[in-house]
Structure 1
């Protein structure tokens, strides 16, 4: 058996034994840790085969896994390789061609829209064809430059000689494999933050809200890793009274450590299940509530394509119910004329527009923004943001 056949067989074995219970990256690390015979080049090739298989979603679902692995490699890779030359030489000759030519080469035997079989669930404004095609391309790495670090960071960036593009004043895009932690101080100088995640508060800039308010009370009610809170602190030049909360004590502990690195010293926090009615908030009312709600994460599956394979459509409804409960429980803590910012990294309308419309029906809210932030044309995540003002 050739080395390349061995790669295919190992990838097939991994895929068959993976059940989606943990991130595939962790599953791979565990497997290679227990099987020391694989060198660095072997691990990289096998991992690439697996991820290319997952990127094709539900295309050619009836084909044997080995065939689908090779197909995934053909559709996702853009440069000839010894593996493809050995196992599919005709495909290797045109692997650098546009996706439509590749599909023609296999006699149009596949429909690209089979990658994502939940098209009827997509939010308004998402192009299903372009969204499906984006799965075949690995998303980029996006960085946000922290305020007051720009000059020093750019000097380091020049010295590091990393391939990059500056998208705007404080956003950079780099290849996904860039080792930025080897050159920069994460959270202090830069934040690893997706392009659209950096854009969710743009309305606050355009509506001049940032410059009109001083020491605004802000509650990030589903704080998680704290990326949105750090962004708000930077936008408001630390002139906010910040409160963060989450249901998980471990998350709050990690958040403390991240805030320390980010230079955020003054903030309040509490641990609570805000999905349950009657939870206790330590502050009576607040000016801005950010609800980056628990969701399917379907707008980020380009980074973790294995999730598409193991996704159960029925969970969309359960997430939508949770989101409505959380939002309905926290909105009463919003001051009159205060802002409620609802965010998901989902592409499903039941988690997005339907939740927003339900909130408008149940509460006296003025809609300021409702928008899908499309990432599939930018090699970025897709997100949804709605901003309400309480009347």
Structure 2
């Protein structure tokens, strides 16, 4: 029967996965090597695998097949023949409770597996930072996050009309913030980066911090350095919030800056400087001459633990030793850029992590070891609205 084939194939895929690739790349390669799977087969097998991955460290003592089915029950939004075949009691219960919430399904699962707790999903619990609702945060890993758009200034009417005409369902959760499904064909409907930027809701909250920071920044001659610019999302954001500035962007690889340049061109932003800089290596040259900046944005490399609902393979793959590597890297980068911060200038420190060592402990380091004055620090919590969770703090020198 096909349901048994799906379950067996999912177990085979998971057994072969070693975490050295993002899982979506790994399973794509698996299907590419074996052409017998049709689109429905691939979709079902992928759903089974991702349900398993979303369990993270929970139910580790159970057989793989049982964990696959438990994860599938908690993560799909409908009952189907697969559940009827393997877990008829769950299927029957769901049939009589068609509007059952995730919380109710968790309670039913616990009747079969009393040891199951959502807290067991997430690794290194003792290192979690000051999240306001940790239980809700853990539970959110059982749900696929939405994709978020930030409408750029002057384009709201156009963006909403285009989405409506294309029949794309969306939620307007803030004046310029839209949530859409993960499969929405946005690139076919919108002029991305010019009209709207794909940017998680929590990343957009950084813009609110930038609004607060504006009072600390000079009105004229503003110089900004986005020192870990990646694809340029924060650079576009600060441009939209602050306006006229002299912008410098940098990253460790030229290939990254190539992508940034393409995105900035689409956004209609020019006149900036882009440079390759390995900020973690104290012996490398930074081609900034004797420049100094009013604002340095340090969206530093991190564990990404606030985004693991998007990459659930990390729930089991992440190791405590990796955390120490990231905190060392963060200290090196920030220590390297601070000499370029003007006296009285502002540092904006950002991670997409929920670990205390990458966040609150770095704030302490910057205050005690680097003499910065903390103005504000906060977790930008998106788990209640199917978004990521970030941490941001800004300081004055």
TM-score range, shorter chain: over 0.9
Q: Report the alpha carbon displacement of residue 147 of structure 1 after superposing the two structures with TM.
A: 1.5
Provide, for residues 220-279 of structure 1, a one-character-per-residue CA deviation record: whole Å limited to 9, x for no partner.
000111111111111123x11110001111101111111111111210011111112253
CA spacing shift, 1:271–1:149, aligned 2, 3 Å: same
Cα separation, 1, equivalents of 2:70 and 2:113:
13
Q: Which runs of 5 or more residues in structure 1 are unaligned?
A: none
Distance in 1 (alpha carbons) for counterparts of 2:273 and 2:93: 57
TM-score, normalization by structure 2: 0.94
Structure 1 distance, partners of 2:396, 2:235, is 19
Pair 1:338–1:81, CA change in 2 (3 A): same
Displacement of 1:142: 0.7
* Residue 157 in structure 1 maps to residue 166 in structure 2: no
Match for 1:366 among 350, 364, 373? 373
Say whether the 8 Å CA contact 2:226–2:298 is kept in structure 1.
yes
Q: 2:234 aligns with which of 204, 211, 228?
A: 228
**One of 174, 191, 194 as aligned partner of 1:185:** 191
- The within-5 A match list for 1:26-175 is 26-95=25-94, 97=100, 98-106=104-112, 108-175=114-181
Task: Give the CA deviation at 1:83.
Answer: 1.0
Alignment partners' CA distance in 2, 1:8 and 1:376: 30
2:8 is matched with 9
Greater share of helix residues, 1 or 2? 2
Q: CA deviation at 1:100?
A: 3.9
Structure 2 counterpart of 1:269: 274
Q: In the TM superposition, what is the alpha-carbon distance from 1:295 to its structure 2 partner? A: 0.4
Task: Report the more deviating stretch, 29-38 or 300-309.
Answer: 29-38
Q: 189, 200, 209: which is aligned to 1:203? A: 209
2: CA distance, partners of 1:110 / 1:267: 52
Pairwise CA distance, 1:281: 4.0
Instruction: Give me the whole-angstrom Cα distance separating, in 2, the residues matched to 1:118 and 1:147.
Output: 41
Deviation of 1:194 after TM superposition, in Å, equals 0.4
Equivalenced residue count is: 388
Shift of 1:210: 8.6
What secondary structure is seen at the aligned counterpart in 2 of 1:218? Answer: strand
1:145 to partner: Cα distance: 0.7
Q: Which aligned runs of 4 or more in structure 1 are off by greater than 4 angstroms?
A: none
1:211 positional shift = 8.7
Tell me, yes or no, if the aligned pair for 1:371 and 1:385 is still in contact at 8 Å: yes
* Residue 247, structure 1, aligned to residue 246, structure 2: no
1:170 positional shift: 0.8
2:382 is aligned to: 375
State the partner residue of 1:335. 342
- Rounded to whole Å, the distance in 1 between the matches of 2:214 and 2:393 is 17
Please say which of residues 339-348 and 174-183 is displaced more in the overlay.
174-183
Query: Tell me, what secondary structure is at the counterpart of 1:143?
Result: strand
**Partners of 1:243 and 1:107 in 2: how far apart?**
54
Aligned to 2:301: 294
Stretches of structure 2 that go unaligned for 5 or more consecutive residues are: none
- Separation in 2 of the partners of 1:46 and 1:299? 26
Q: In the TM superposition, what whole-angstrom CA distance separates every residue of 1:169-206 from its partner, at most 9, and x where no partner exists?
A: 11001122222222112212111110000111312313
What is the CA–CA distance in structure 1 between the aligned matches of 2:14 and 2:33, rounded to whole Å?
Answer: 17
Is 1:219 the equivalent of 2:225? yes
Deviation at 1:120, TM superposition (A): 0.5
